[in-house]
Amino acid sequence: MKTSILYFLFASLVACTGEAEPSEEPRSGLTDGGSYYIYWGSIPQTIPFNDLFELSVMVHDGADKTKMLTDRELYVDASMPAHDHGMETEPNVTKSESGMYTVDGMLFHMAGEWELTFAVSDGTEVETASFAVSCCDQ
């Protein structure tokens, strides 16, 4: 499993350098305060409908994207803004020794527009980044 996560992240970083397909929704971006740059990917890469999936997340310095930050707390949630509801599952974040975060317990039980939100805390300040995710291409 660890190997596949690493492979996935590598592939997704390669995609971020300009080989992403135009139709793909962005899977990286700055937090609202600009302190962090989030890279995330799903396992499997295409989010399944009404089935559990995982996320792999890296938190990088917002000013220097080459620098990965490994001592922050990460929280993940997802909702459907148009319907005013969240997931029915509880996401669980764990951190690997390498400093990457793995999130399990993700499940989109309804097709449509979801908003995936990452919150990063340094113990004092919390910044968030949200990503639109269409559920789910088959």
Under rule CB under 5 A, residue 133 binds Cu ion: no
Nearest distance, CB of residue 130 and Cu ion, angstroms? 16
Question: Measuring CA to CA, how many Å separate 60 from each of 5, 41, 82, 98?
Answer: 17, 14, 30, 13
Closest to Cu ion by CB, 79 or 128? 79
24 vs 84 by CB, closer to Cu ion: 84
110 touches Cu ion (CB under 5 A): yes
Tell me the closest approach of the beta carbon of residue 113 to Cu ion, in angstroms.
9
Determine the Cα–Cα distance for residues 27 and 133; give it in Å rounded to an integer.
Answer: 9
Number of residues in contact with Cu ion, rule: CB under 5 A?
3
Q: Does 80 bind Cu ion (CB under 5 A)?
A: yes
DSSP annotation string for 58-113: EEEESS-TT-B--S-EEEEEEEETTTTEE-SS--EEEE-TTS-EEEEEE---S-EE
Residues lying near Cu ion in the complex (CB under 5 A) are found at 80, 83, 110
